[in-house]
């Protein structure tokens, strides 16, 4: 298995992901694939697809921009930005994150773990909750 080639296929899928193309995730993930992010922990391509179908129902025009990649054996790391609008016409927002990916012998993802700061990059943008979180962050910061 060529991890770099498998990663390139996955990157192309995510770069062009649309609501109509979420079904293509089934081809990229193994039958027992594990996926975890700050909100979800699931197994299997159908459950992973539901996460992205839900994403498209919650935000406008989400788009993944891959920034960096690293490969070591069957494991790869990506850093990325998810650009989106909270609603049509709203300002562009960005979540910065990283993904750890492990591929099986067939070049499909068997382990996908996303790391990103849900509090700082998502919750702090909300009108009421954001103010409270920003205040807490300032109080807890080392001076």
**C-beta of residue 70 within 8 angstroms of C-beta of residue 76:** yes
pLDDT at 86: 85
Question: How far is it, in rounded angstroms, from Cα 105 to Cα 66?
Answer: 24
pLDDT tens-digit readout, 90-112: 888 898 999 999 999 999 999 99
- Look at the domain 3-116 and name its fold: Nuclear Transport Factor 2; Chain: A, (3.10.450)
User: Of residues 119 and 77, which shows the higher confidence score?
Assistant: 77
Mean pLDDT rounded to a whole number for the chain? 89
Residue 44 burial (CB count, 10 A): 16
pLDDT at 117: 82
pLDDT at 93: 87
5-12 average pLDDT score = 97
Split at pLDDT 50, 70, 90, the class of 62 is very high
Angle at 133 between CA 131 and CA 137, to 5 degrees: 120
* β strands within the chain, DSSP E: 29-36, 41-43, 60-72, 75-85, 92-103, 109-116
Backbone angles phi, psi at 98, to 5 degrees: -140, 150
Residue 37 burial (CB count, 10 A): 16
**C-beta of residue 59 within 8 angstroms of C-beta of residue 85:** yes
């Amino acid at each position: 298995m060529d991890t770099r080639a498998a990663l390139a296929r996955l990157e192309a899928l995510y770069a062009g992901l649309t609501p109509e193309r979420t079904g293509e995730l089934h081809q990229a993930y193994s039958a027992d694939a594990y996926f975890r992010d700050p909100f979800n922990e699931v197994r299997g391509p159908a459950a992973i697809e539901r996460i992205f179908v839900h994403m498209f129902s919650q935000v406008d025009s989400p788009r993944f921009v891959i920034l960096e990649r690293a490969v070591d054996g069957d494991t790869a790391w990506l850093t990325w930005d998810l650009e989106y609008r909270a609603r049509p016409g709203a300002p562009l927002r960005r979540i910065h994150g990283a993904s750890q990916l492990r591929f099986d012998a067939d070049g499909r993802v068997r382990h996908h773990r996303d790391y990103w700061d849900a509090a700082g990059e998502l919750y702090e943008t909300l009108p009421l909750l954001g103010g409270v979180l920003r205040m807490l962050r300032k109080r807890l910061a080392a001076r």
